[in-house]
Chain A
Amino acid sequence: MANGKPDFNGIWQAVSSAHFDVERHMARHSLMLRDGPHGPLPAVPVLRLGAVGAVPGGMGVVEGGMIPYKPDAAKLRDENRRDWLDRDPEIKCYLPGVPRATYMPFPFQIVQNQAQFFFAYEYAGAVRDIYFKDPGPAETDSWMGQSVGKWEGDTLVVEVSGFNDQTWFDRAGTHHSSGLKVVERYTYLTPNHVQYEATMTDPAVFTRPWKISLPLYRRMEKDARLMDFKCVEFVEELVFGEHRRKPLPR
């Protein structure tokens, strides 16, 4: 760019299984399991999804492999997994939070000029504006947090705080408190690759900070763009359908 900073403009997407489970994991039957006679099986509500409901394996994006949950927090994560359909905010099309927004299986767009750095995510139409002047502690909690950015050479460093406690890091029940702070690093690798790192600190929930790292790939299609995926209209039957004048079978 004219100001010497790397140009991140474009449509980007992560390619990984992080959105299923950020930890190192083998493939498994489903995101929601129940005990079977010879090991876990898909829970009843997801049974008919078959292989489409199965979880692919991944070497994980968490450095060190596993998230350092405190014992009570690990129990809550396990409960979240058992009750995935009712608890995962993604199912209700809620805003994904950070860093989950980055590696959702949807593209996002960076629009960057001399003074502004803006993210538009296809999933749920989430947005983030990066402030380069720190406005101080966030006045209120939000789903996507408050982002304050600065440049370190060719890396954009973004400190995100002011989260509510409603988002997860993936579909595997990984929760946090509203005390979460995330420090992201977007490092230019090649014209079509960005290395993304994020360090999570939340002393109420984790025994120490932990970090994820994965590449982001430029969407190369000539007509690459964000499509509408508000998704709110897709979950109305789920969330409000029981209140129809003539409710449909559930």
Chain B
Amino acid sequence: MIMQVRMIAMLAMAGAGWGAEIPRTPDGKPDLSGTYDIATLTPLTRPSSLGERQSLTDAEAKTLADQAKAVAAATNKASDPNRKAPPAGGDGSEGPAGNVGGYNSLWVDIGEGAFKVDGKWRTSILIDPPNGRMPPATAEARRLGAERAKMSRPNRGDAFWITEGISPGPYDDPEMRPTAERCLLSFGSGGGPPMLPVMYNNLKQLVQTKDTLVILNEMVHDARVVRINGEHEPPEIRRWLGDSIGRWEGDTLVVDTTNFNDNPALNGATRNLHVIERFKRIDGKSLLYGFTVEDPTIWTKPWSGEILWPATDQRIFEYACHEGNYSFGGILKGARLLEAEAEKKVKK
């Protein structure tokens, strides 16, 4: 009995071919319109400890979700009201928390569990290469990576580029800073393409007509307009989100994006980025988003992934970024101040 129920559930997940109801437009196409929350704990690349495993067991997936819930509950417990200031020299926090501890966890929304495709809990968004990890980088990519690494250090509150004689320094000009910090694009390829889950505000809204699909990314209020049955723009026209054209292949909308400018959202990519996305309705409550990325300047082979997009009745809120970007001025001013201090020391 339980086996039969699971079979039916898996068949339902497999989509229209098995008789699941998907919403359709008056002209018979699948209706992709709706708001989706793509937050998930399934990472982009497969953790090495999972080896070649493409899926978790139901029990493991449940443990993952339970653990996330437990972590959330723990982080929301009361703090010591008599606590002191955090340690001088930093609190050792890594990644974006930058040795200063970031902020409270309620501001983020990283998802509640892994996602399921074809009845299997995925261990990574990447499905090709089949080991769930990035293909090898080109020599040029490694060179660019090394250049970037020169400019990056754990946060010690000092102008290391002065003391280490690195020029240009990482904060010399606004144009050198990440597009997210400048409020030009969402961080982490949230808007992409490809659109990947990020730390918060993972909502996407699709508005579909016969000749247009608008993809609204909450951050930074970026509406990508896909011209269905359109043609790509000439090569001298470059866009922040690239130029997207779409065509239906059966019940899948295939979106092809080229003409990126020199600063695409996808980390490490160049203007030679080419993304193919596939939007396929699974049922009334979800959509399967697939993508293939190629950028021969950076990766030796294309790579592909899939993310399940569950529909949500939550709303996208305005994300005006530049209008309130106090941080950016602070970051540049801070760098100038630290440089002055470092230069004084160097003179001594």
Chain A interface residues toward B at CB < 8 A = 2, 9, 92-95, 109, 111-116, 118, 120, 125-127, 129, 135, 139-140, 142-144, 166, 225-228, 230, 232-233, 236-237, 239-241, 243-246
Contacts and interface: CB of A to CB of B under 8 A. Distances in A.
Contacts of B169: 245
Contact of A240 (B174, B212, B317): B174
4 tightest CB-CB pairs across the interface, nearest first?
A243-B332, A142-B318, A2-B26, A245-B172
16 contacts: A112-B209, A114-B25, A114-B26, A120-B214, A125-B220, A127-B216, A129-B205, A225-B225, A228-B240, A232-B322, A236-B174, A236-B182, A240-B174, A240-B328, A241-B174, A245-B336
Contact of B320 (A143, A228, A241): A143
Nearest to B221: A127
Nearest to A245: B172
A120 B329 CA distance: 29
A94 B323 CA distance: 6
Given A230-B240, A240-B329, A95 B320 contact: yes
Given A125-B223, A240-B329, A240-B332, 18 more contacts: A9-B211, A94-B323, A95-B323, A109-B212, A111-B214, A116-B207, A118-B214, A120-B225, A127-B223, A129-B316, A142-B318, A143-B320, A226-B225, A236-B182, A243-B329, A244-B172, A245-B173, A245-B336
Nearest to A243: B332
B33 interface: yes
Interface centre among B31, B171, B318, B335 (most CB of A within 10 A): B318
Nearest to B25: A113
B300 interface: no
B184 interface: yes
Contacts of A228: 239-240
B339 interface: yes
B294 interface: no
B325 to A, nearest CB: 9
B223 to A, nearest CB: 4
A113 B316 CA distance: 19
B68 interface: no
A143 B216 CA distance: 17
A68 B184 CA distance: 38
Contacts of B322: 92-94, 232
A241 B322 CA distance: 15
Contacts of B328: 240
Interface in B134-171: 168-169, 171
Contact of B207 (A2, A95, A118): A118
B222 interface: yes
Contacts of A93: 322
A224 B296 CA distance: 32
Contacts of A144: 318
Contacts of B131: none
Interface in B301-348: 315-318, 320, 322-323, 328-329, 332-333, 335-336, 339
B16 interface: no
